[in-house]
Structure formats: structure tokens, C-alpha cells
Amino acid sequence: MLLTPGVLAAQRRAAGEYEVKAAYLYNFAKFVEWPAAAFESERSPLVFCVVGQDPFGDSLQAVLGNEKIGQRELMVLKARSIDDPEVCHVLFASRSERARFDQVLAPVRDAGVLTVGDADGFLEAGGLVELTLDGERVRFEINGPAAERSPLKISSRLLRLARIVAPGPPGR
Amino acid sequence: MLRNVPVRQKLVLIVMLASGSALLLASAGLIAFDFVRFRTEMAEDLASTGRMIAANSTAAASFRDEDAAYDTLESLRARPTIVEAAIYDDEGGLLAVYPRSAGASVPARPAAGVPPPEPALVVFEPIRHQGESLGTVYLRGDPAPLYERLRLQAVTVMLVLVVAALAALLVSSGLQRVISSPIQDLAELARAVSERRDYSLRATKHGADELGQLVDAFNGMLAQIQERDTALLEAKADLERRVGERTRELQAELAERRRAEALLERSNAELAQSNKELDDFAYVASHDLKEPLRGLHNYSLFLLEDYGEKLDADGRAKLETLVRLCRRMESLIDSLLHYSRVGRVDLAIGKVDLNDTLAGVLDSLGINLEAERVEVRIPRPLPTVRADRARVGEIFRNLISNAVKYNDKPEKWVEIGCENGAGRPPVFWVRDNGIGIPEKHHDAVFRIFKRLHARDKFGGGTGAGLTIVKKIVERHDGQVWVESTPGAGTTVYFTLEKGKPT
């Protein structure tokens, strides 16, 4: 938690957009419970995957680097595409993958992976959380039906902060 | 201050003060207890509310979501006792303030761990999620209900106190009689006793407690006083009776004495009268007797001279006896006359130098004394006294004559002296070494014409000398008496003024 507060505090000072979003990823992880099967052991790390062109730079690594959630260390995996997306617990789909969200999300749909994106149509493609901008402020929407189907337990506290939406069928 | 208040009121006051203070203390204790308990409850309530808010604002704090944080605080609207609240992020930055208008009054930064000043109800509750500190919730409760409750309780206690005081007044007014009425009775009885001095009164006993004992003791004292009073009254009556008796006795004695005095006075007067009459009679009789006696004497002498030769010896002897008896008769009458004169004629009282008087007497007796060879002794000079000079000379002449006359010693002496006693009349004496007088005759020698010896013995005499001495001494209010040893001598003592001699 050395950099995160600084980053969040910086949001009020119009800090870098992806610094804030990195902190959000970390915060989402705090309010979500994964099924026990998602980990090999109680000490297995929580893995954050960034798919596509990485917009965070070093900021995600900076936020998560020295943090733990419970007993779990936090790890970042970056790839243009992920061969085995089931390794991931939090999956951030970059805007660069906008055209192939379905492909990206298909392997992890309803599979206990918290999928986060920041591009329009992410929820419609079956994503769970979409980061939006309200002026300079970062907010998020949660795909209500998908969240209900998911084996993840999303804390009501988190749900209370989010805008819950029920997106139409994918593809416009 | 309370000292002069009646016992009755004191008792009521004591009961009311005691019950009032007990009630007040108990109420104060209860109120204090309740105050602390209620405050603790409020603090706990505040703390649990704080925990609830903290639990509900973890996400809001995490995401620095001010709107969500305010929404969480908005839930406090249902809790009017919480006047202000705030949520801080984990850096202490203010996220939300409730109500919105309280922005200025909430602390700028959380001050968890610093105890708020009493009695403010303030809570700083950390916002935690999975062991991680995410921020702080601040709540401030309104202590007004606490004070409202306190005020209500105080009012209630006051009301209860007033009611209880009234009840205590009623109860103690009734019960105080148990103690005060015996005391009042006793006080009234004591007053009645001291005012009326009626010691037969008794106090009524109400019970066997200390007051009962007091009543018993009081009654005992009254009984004793009554006993003593009665005894005192009896003693007084007895004393009065005895005084009365004694007074009557004294009055009777006094009357008796007065009667006796009157009697004595009368008999004294009668005696004086008869003495005077006797003196007058003696004078008249002796004076009148002298003349025929003179005739008898003279005619007897004429008979002897003119007819003596015609008578035989026997006849002459009888005539001579007649003459001698006439002379004797004359001397007796002279003595009687003299005696009566001493009794009748007033004394010529003046200063008398007894030494001069005695010298005169001894002069006139001079021839006699020389003839008898009598030694006259005067050991000390005699004093000067107030007396009748001639009569006092007569006393000494008579006594010295007697001393010389009744003396058979070859060497005769007469001693004249005086003894001065302090405060007493001087006693004079004439002492001789003559034949003496037996004691049984000590009174008889003063009787007129009383002679202890034959007519022709010791030079004869009429036997009036000592009688005349006694008369003169008595007319000077003095006394005369005799001391004598028969055969050894006689002392005649006399005084010349009133008073008991030594």
C-alpha cells in the first residue's frame, strides 16, 4: 500500500488514468472471493493477467509489487494473448483486444475469473467489470447477470459502489 | 438553635432529616449509577454504530468513493442522537461528512486513540478489511438525552422526596407521641408539682423502656420528697406546739413572778410601815415611860433619905434594889430610844475619812483602854468612804468596846482593818483575842437586849450594842457578820455600801 494511496489521492489531482485503474484492479481483488478450486493451495499467488497491449506500463507492477491479499502474493502476467487463461484470477482485457473480446473472454466465461475491461462493449461481450470515465473520475459497471452466474462471490460492498447493468446480446 | 424547640418537633425533625438524607443519598447513588450505565450504553451504542458504518464503508474507503461514503453516512438519519459523523481514508483525508453542513466542525483528521474530552460522546472507528486498515469512521453522539434523563430523574427524585417528606411528617407526627407524650406528661407533672407543692402527684407509666424507668425514678423521688415534706411539716408542727407550750409556761411563770413581786412589794411596804410604827411606838413608849420611871426613882431615893432610919435593914435593902432596878430600867429605855432614833432619823451622808473617825473614837475610849491595857492595832490606813460620820463612829465605838469588854486575856489587843476587793465593796473588820462566840449564837448576838452572859459579868450593859451596829450598817445598805473561835477571839466584819462582799 505504499503507492496505491498516492495514486488514488492523485486521481483527485487528475493523476494518470492507468495509475488509478491499476489501483482499482487491486481494490477489486480485495472485495472478491474466489472458489477454493481456483488456487492450488492457500498460499498460491493471486495472478493478474493483462491481455493485449499493456496500457499500465510499470504502474500495475508498482501497485501490486509489495502487496498481499490475505496470504496470497500478487503476480502480473502480460501477454498479447493468453494461452491458458485459466491461470489468471483477474484478467484485464486491453482496448487493443476490443475487436476480439469474445475470443478473449470465451475461455474464462463463467470460470471464476474476474474479467475487467475499459472499452465499450466489454460487458456486452460477457465481461464482468467495465471501468468507465465520468469526467476525470474513474467509475465502474458490473454485469449483473454475469456476476450472478459466475462462481465468484463479489462483495455487496463492491456492488454498492458499482453501477449494475444487464447488457444486451453481444455484437452491435 | 434547636435547643428550645419542643421535643415533639425535635423528634419529627430528626425523623424527617434522617429519612430525607437517607432517601437523598440513595437516590443520588441510583442516579449516579444510572447516569454511568446509560452513558456507557450510549457509548457502546455509538461504538457499535461506528463498527457498522466502518463495515459498510470499506469499499467506499478503498475506492475513495465520496458519494458511496456519504450514502453510508446517510443511513444515520434514523439515529437522531448522532449529531455528526465523518469518514476518512487511510491517509486521514476527509471522504464524507454528515450532515453536509457539519463540514467545519468535524475534526480535519482522525484522532483515534486520543480519548475525547468528557462527556462528549465521540467514537473513532477504524475501517478494516481483511486485516488491512482502510480508513476511519468518526461519530459524535449528542449527550443531551443523557442530561435530559438526568434532569428527569432529578425532578422525579425531588417529587419523591417531597412526597416522602410528607409521608415521614405524617408518620413521625403520629409516632413521635410514643416518646414525646410521656416526656411532656412528665414535664407538666414536674411543673404542677413545683407550682402547687403537691408531692402526692404521680406520673403515669406508659411502658417499661427508659422513659418508664425515668417515670419510676421520678415517682420514687416524689415519694421521698413527700415523705420528707410530711416529716418536715410534722417537725414544724411539733416545734410550734412546743414553742407554744414553752411560751405559755413562761407567761405563767412571768405572771407568777409578777404576783410574787407584787406580794413582796406589798409585804415590804407593810414591813417598812410596821417597822416605822414600831420605831415610833418604841420612841413614844420609851420617852413617855421615862418620866414616871424618873418619879419612881426619885421617890425611892426620897424614901431612903427621909425615912431610911425608920426602916430596918431589910426594908432599906429592898428600897435600894428598887432604885437599882429603876436605873436599869432607865438605861434599857435609853438604849431603846437610841435604837429607835437610829432607825428613824435620816442619815447625814458625806465623805468620811475613817482614819479621823477612828482616832476620835479611840480618844473618847482612851481612859478605858489604858485601864484595861489594850493594844490597838491598825495595820494599814483606812480609806475615805461616803457614810454618816457620827453613825460610823458609833459602829467602831460599839465594836471596840465589845472587843475590850469580852476579853479575859492578860494581854488584850484589838485590830481594826479593811480589805479592798476589786469591784466589790470594801470590808471592814474589828478583831480581838477575847472569849469568842460559839457558832450557834452568831445570829443571836444581833438581837436586841440579848445577852449571852450573866447581867453582872463582863461589865454589864444593856445588850443593844450589836443590834444598833446592825441597824446602822443596814441603813447604809451594808451587811454585818461574825466569825469566831470560842476562847481564841472574835472578828466582826461589816460593809457600808450595797453589794455582795468578798
Which residues of chain A make contact with B58, given a CB cutoff of 8 A? Answer: 31, 157
User: Considering just the CA atoms, what is the radius of gyration of chain B in Å?
Assistant: 71
Yes or no, beta carbons of B91 and A11 under 8 Å apart? no
Yes or no, beta carbons of B68 and A160 under 8 Å apart? yes
DSSP code per residue over A28-81: HHHTEE--GGGSSSTTPPEEEEEESS-SSTTHHHHHHTT-EETTEEEEEEEESS
Look at A23-27, A81-85, A124-128, B315-319 and tell me which has the smallest mean pLDDT: A81-85
pLDDT on residue A130? 92
Which residue of A21, A30, A141 to mutate against B (max B Cβ within 10 Å)? A30
DSSP code per residue over B438-453: -GGGTTGGGSTT--SS
Look at B26-35, B154-163, B224-233, B492-501 and tell me which has the smallest mean pLDDT: B492-501
What band does B237 get if pLDDT is binned at 50, 70 and 90?
very high
What band does A171 get if pLDDT is binned at 50, 70 and 90?
very low
Which residues of chain B make contact with A31, given a CB cutoff of 8 A? Answer: 58-59, 62, 129
Least CB–CB distance from A161: residue in B59, B129, B132: B59
What are B403's three cell numbers? 472587843
What are B194's three cell numbers? 413545683
Mean pLDDT over B46-74 rounds to 87
pLDDT digits (tens, 9 = 90+) for B458-479: 666 677 888 889 989 988 888 9
pLDDT digits (tens, 9 = 90+) for A100-111: 888 888 888 778
pLDDT on residue A7? 52
Q: Enumerate long-range contacts of A41-45, CB under 8 Å, 24 or more apart.
A: A42/A71, A43/A71, A43/A72, A44/A72, A45/A72, A45/A73, A45/A74, A45/A75
Determine the residue of chain B that is closest to A23 in CA distance.
B63
Least CB–CB distance from A69: residue in B63, B65, B130: B130
- Whether the predicted pLDDT of B487 surpasses 90: no
Which residues of chain A make contact with B94, given a CB cutoff of 8 A? Answer: none
Residue-wise burial string across B332-351, b where 16 or more C-beta atoms lie within 10 A, e elsewhere: bbebbbbbbebbeeeeeeee
- Measured in angstroms, the CA of A28 and the nearest CA of chain B are apart by 9
pLDDT on residue B457? 66
pLDDT digits (tens, 9 = 90+) for B342-368: 877 788 889 999 999 988 888 888 877
pLDDT on residue A81? 65
pLDDT on residue B264? 92
Helix H, strand E, coil C: the string for A135-159 is CCEEEEEEEHHHHHHCCCEECHHHH
Look at B41-50, B171-180, B309-318 and tell me which has the smallest mean pLDDT: B171-180
How far CA B257 is from CA of B245, B246, B253, B372, in Å, comes to 18, 16, 6, 56
Task: Return d(Cα B201, Cα B397) in angstroms, integer.
Answer: 92
- Whether the predicted pLDDT of A95 surpasses 60: yes
What band does B117 get if pLDDT is binned at 50, 70 and 90?
low
Mean pLDDT over B447-462 rounds to 69
Which residues of chain B make contact with A11, given a CB cutoff of 8 A? Answer: 64
Using the Cβ of A69 and the Cβ atoms of chain B, whether some distance falls under 8 Å is answered with yes
Look at A140-149, B50-59, B364-373 and tell me which has the smallest mean pLDDT: B364-373
Residue entry with cell 430600867 = B329
The mean of the pLDDT values for chain B is 85
Using the Cβ of A172 and the Cβ atoms of chain B, whether some distance falls under 8 Å is answered with no
- Whether the predicted pLDDT of B456 surpasses 80: no
- Whether the predicted pLDDT of B248 surpasses 90: yes
Yes or no, beta carbons of B130 and A70 under 8 Å apart? yes
pLDDT digits (tens, 9 = 90+) for A133-164: 888 788 899 998 888 888 999 988 888 888 89
pLDDT on residue B428? 93
Using the Cβ of A2 and the Cβ atoms of chain B, whether some distance falls under 8 Å is answered with no
| Closest to B452 in 3D by CA, of B410, B413, B502, B402 | B402
pLDDT on residue B459? 62
pTM: 0.48
| Top-confidence residue, B134 or B460 | B134
- Measured in angstroms, the CA of B54 and the nearest CA of chain A are apart by 11
What band does B33 get if pLDDT is binned at 50, 70 and 90?
very high
Mean pLDDT over B82-106 rounds to 82
Using the Cβ of A161 and the Cβ atoms of chain B, whether some distance falls under 8 Å is answered with yes
pLDDT on residue B443? 81
Which residues on chain B place their C-beta less than 8 Å from a C-beta of chain A? 56, 58-60, 62-65, 68, 71, 89-91, 93, 129-130, 132
Of B58-62, B118-122, B172-176, highest mean pLDDT: B58-62
Task: Return d(Cα B400, Cα B365) in angstroms, integer.
Answer: 9
pLDDT on residue B172? 82
Yes or no, beta carbons of B65 and A158 under 8 Å apart? no
pLDDT on residue B79? 83
Strand partners, B89: B135
Yes or no, beta carbons of A5 and B63 under 8 Å apart? no
- Whether the predicted pLDDT of B326 surpasses 80: yes
pLDDT on residue B266? 92
- Whether the predicted pLDDT of B454 surpasses 90: no
Using the Cβ of A39 and the Cβ atoms of chain B, whether some distance falls under 8 Å is answered with no
pLDDT on residue A13? 43
Yes or no, beta carbons of A160 and B129 under 8 Å apart? no
pLDDT on residue B146? 84
pLDDT on residue A2? 41
| Closest to A86 in 3D by CA, of A47, A129, A60 | A47
Look at B46-60, B137-151, B268-282 and tell me which has the smallest mean pLDDT: B268-282
Angle at A56 between CA A54 and CA A61, to 5 degrees: 105
Yes or no, beta carbons of A30 and B130 under 8 Å apart? yes
Q: What's B204's DSSP letter?
A: P
Least CB–CB distance from A161: residue in B68, B129, B132: B68
Task: Return d(Cα B322, Cα B400) in angstroms, integer.
Answer: 32
How far CA B502 is from CA of A123, B330, B425, B482, in Å, comes to 176, 41, 8, 14
What band does A131 get if pLDDT is binned at 50, 70 and 90?
very high
Which residues of chain B make contact with A69, given a CB cutoff of 8 A? Answer: 130
Mean pLDDT over A5-33 rounds to 73
Which residues of chain A make contact with B92, given a CB cutoff of 8 A? Answer: none
- Whether the predicted pLDDT of A39 surpasses 50: yes
Which residue of B62, B72, B91, B129 to mutate against A (max A Cβ within 10 Å)? B62
What band does A14 get if pLDDT is binned at 50, 70 and 90?
very low
